Structure 1
């Protein structure tokens, strides 16, 4: 299954293994098992330290699946109920390296915290091979399983185990179970998981953060704007910090990036990782997995976190970005992740052969409908306006697809369900006033963005749309407080623009610091 180029790359990586590995494949006579056998034979052939064993015994294991463990281990902590190609191939490579003795790339205090967890933790992660968010979750829990023998993890391809997905009514990936109960959905990392497992971790972290010395520049947000601001500030030699709920921001949810100048093509998670690494190349204090709660102006600006910690800085750059806009109709919140979704690349495979709707006729909505049409049985695209707003080339492609219906002048009024999952969508024809109902199993919402600025309250001036108002220097109405990126009223929400605005905000903050400290 692996081509020559991929085999050569894999062989190079596996040279870093220092401990013998045993892969046990649990197979049957099905086509997927035959695929998995071929795949694993290709993998094992790239290193003399990997032994492949086939097992047809046991009724309590998923088939096909395979475990990865050291030769001397009593049990395997890492299991793939999947043929991990696509986005998950990296997850397999990392698992092989880490199980084989290559160091887990986490801060030592995080490693120590994972190792100290007491109890038994059996994780199951349902993912899809087209989901760009899933690898982060799979890799995080795999790493935890390598560190702590009381932790086990099974990564399950929802497309491979459709019956199981139906039985557990999983309609969004990644979905994580812990000891048989739903633990969480969506992107998460080791630190976020630890915060839930180790209940005292939050208070200890808050105490550590509050004890930090005041920064010269504190960047709030870790997307393209925040990363650029941090790099430009650090290059000035001033004390710089970044506090972010998740480093990378909305870029993490972007499937393909083809318009960042000098980078013809990349994927969101890869781009986000590059942003974080670039920031880490400088002397920047990164405080990740921290939600901001309020901002207080003064001689030292204070940023309070949800944990209760308070960070102080002489200047602040707000780069909190934006998130998917919701329809705000009955049923949307009730059936969120139960048929209501916002990422077609992630969750689309779970609706294979089913009927779905896409709400939104801009570029995002039309692109989502095109992608979904290749997977699902039928797509109904619903646009509020009189016509689609997407680029002409996208509209042409959409209209060429036989399993897509386009409804314009359609106002979504309700998402219906049976109490467990979505079963339809109601809309009103704005031209005639007539009410209609479409029977379907999934609704993908693609109607634009809303700025992440509610937490500011009345502290900083914002537009009627909630965007932070800034001038040409990225300054807000509060002295020492600057803003950049999608959270501001700058037009055109693009990665390249956000990065440029972040750089400008940092230069403006530096200029402010020089002027505010100059003798009068």
Structure 2
């Protein structure tokens, strides 16, 4: 199952196991069970602390990773390969006693969770968002015996997916009831279970002294800004709704200079680690709700958070990024994650053999249609413009596929469903004016991004598209407030550009600081005169 190189690498990792581990396999006569048996035999052969046993779990093929003689265990239903192979390795290490690198206070909160929590996560092997959720819940299971977790390959257990009407991954169930959908980190999951966490975080934030540079947003622009500010030796803070931002939802990155290929979650983890190498106060899971300008020149700017706390700083860098643009048609919100999806890589396998539509004829939309065509029965691509806007090479590939229909000059007007899932969509022919309907089971929306600036309306100047207007230095219309990345009017929304703009904004903020007399010093000077 595993090649020689991978076995050698895995053997090195498994040497870190300190407590005996049992692999308890529940198998049947299917080829997938034989593949799983081969994988487990390979793993067991690499460490004398791992034993392979047979079990009788209702889900087959599946296997538990159990700490011998204890209730500590996690389970995989399906083969954890692809993006989930790292989840398998980490589960082996953590159940085997290897300590986690997570913050000590977060580990303590997990161990102190009071209750019995039985988690089930549906994932797909092509989903880059799923490993974060799987690994977080596996770690929680390894730390607290009252927490149980099984990771289920939705493509392999189609009957369950159909019964529970799972149409987006990762989908998490807690004690048999829906708990969450989409990417979540360990901190987010714990905060959702620990109901007092938000209030405690707000109280802690209220005690923080003012910053010299406060970065709002933790994507590439925000991370670069924080690093460049911290390197100046000034008090720097980052408040982010989720560190990593839109990069976390990016499948493949192939144009980041000096790195020929990487994936969004890997880059996001590297960004966070780089920021942590410096003296930066990272405040994750914090949503900004209002920006209050300094009352006097050189005074403190305030950022109010959703949890009721307020942060103060002499300068602020806004890097809140952008999010997927919605169609804003009837039925879209009602059927989001019930057939309306935004990540073809993540959710495509759940629509195997079904009919889907892709909305958008740019590079993202055409790439999504090509990708989905290899999985689903039929793809209908609908583009608002009179022609596709994707690169010519992508268009040639698209038109060569026999199970793809391309509709141009089509305006999607409504998403239809039966109350539980999508059943079709309506679109208007912008040439003839006719209203037409397409019967299908899934809709993948790929029509670009919208800046996260709703909370800034009326405080800083915004473009007609809602982007923050900045000058060549990243300065906004408010003194001491700078902006960088996809949220601004700077053209070409690329990671490498966002990083450069974030660095520039930090340097501009530092320049502003050294050229501006703090309000309290100005008052003392006036009083002395």
Q: Sort the TM-score into its range (normalised by shorter chain).
A: over 0.9
| Residue 381 of structure 2: aligned partner | 381
Shift of 1:281: 1.0
The residue number in structure 1 matching 2:66 is: 69
Pair 1:472-2:472 in alignment: yes
Q: 2:236 aligns with which of 215, 235, 240?
A: 240
Partner of 1:430 in structure 2? 430
Which residue of the partner structure matches residue 344 of structure 2? 344
Counterpart of 1:88 in structure 2 is: 84
Match of 2:286 in 1: 290
- Match for residue 526 of structure 2? none
Contact 1:67 1:76 in 2 (8 A): no
Tell me how far apart the structure 2 counterparts of residues 109 and 361 of structure 1 sit (CA, whole Å).
47
Find out whether 1:367 has 2:364 as its counterpart. no
- Say if 2:186 is the partner of 1:190: yes
| 1:500 and 2:500 correspond | yes
CA–CA distance in structure 2, aligned partners of residues 388 and 54 of structure 1:
54
Residue of structure 2 equivalent to 1:178: 174
After TM superposition, the structure 1 = structure 2 runs for residues 376-415 of structure 1, keeping only pairs within 5 Å, are 376-415=376-415
Query: How far is 1:76 from its partner?
Result: 4.3
Deviations 1:157-205 (A, max 9, x none): 1001000000000000001100110001011122212222111111111
- The counterpart of 2:131, out of the listed 128, 132, 135, is 135
**TM-superposition CA deviations, 1:328-351 (whole Å, max 9, x none):** 011100100000000000000000
- 2:274 maps to which of 278, 302, 315: 278
The question of 1:162 aligning with 2:175 is answered no
Please provide the CA RMSD for this pair: 1.1
Q: Aligned to 1:485, what secondary structure does the other structure show? A: coil
State the SS of the aligned residue for 1:487.
Answer: coil
- Match in the other structure for 2:21: 21
Structure 2: runs of 5 or more not aligned? 523-529
TM superposition shift of 1:457: 2.3
By how many angstroms is 1:304 displaced?
A: 1.2
Secondary structure, aligned partner of 2:425: strand
**TM-score normalised by structure 1 residue count:** 0.98
User: 3-state DSSP class of the match of 1:7?
Assistant: helix
Q: Using the alignment, how far apart are the partners of 2:392 and 2:44 within structure 1? A: 48
What is the CA–CA distance in structure 2 between the aligned matches of 1:357 and 1:40, rounded to whole Å? Answer: 39
Instruction: Report what 1:36 is aligned to.
Output: 36
Give the structure 1 partner of residue 420 of structure 2. Answer: 420
Question: Which runs of 5 or more residues in structure 1 are unaligned?
Answer: none
Q: CA deviation at 1:93?
A: 0.6
User: Is contact 2:73–2:95 with CA below 8 Å preserved after alignment?
Assistant: no
Q: Report the alpha carbon displacement of residue 493 of structure 1 after superposing the two structures with TM.
A: 0.4
- Residue of structure 2 equivalent to 1:150: 146
- The separation in 2 between residues aligned to 1:6 and 1:268, in whole angstroms, is 23
Secondary structure of 1:486 counterpart = coil
* C-alpha displacement of 1:71: 1.1
Distance 1:508 1:124 in 2: 48
Q: Is the 8 A contact 2:110 2:190 kept in 1?
A: yes
Mapped partners of 2:257, 2:127: distance in 1: 25
CA distance in 2, matches of 1:309, 1:5: 51
User: How far is the alpha carbon of 1:455 from its aligned partner?
Assistant: 1.1
Cα deviation, 1:285-335, whole Å, max 9, x if unaligned, reads 111111111111111111111111111111110000000000001110010
- Counterpart in the other structure of 2:264: 268
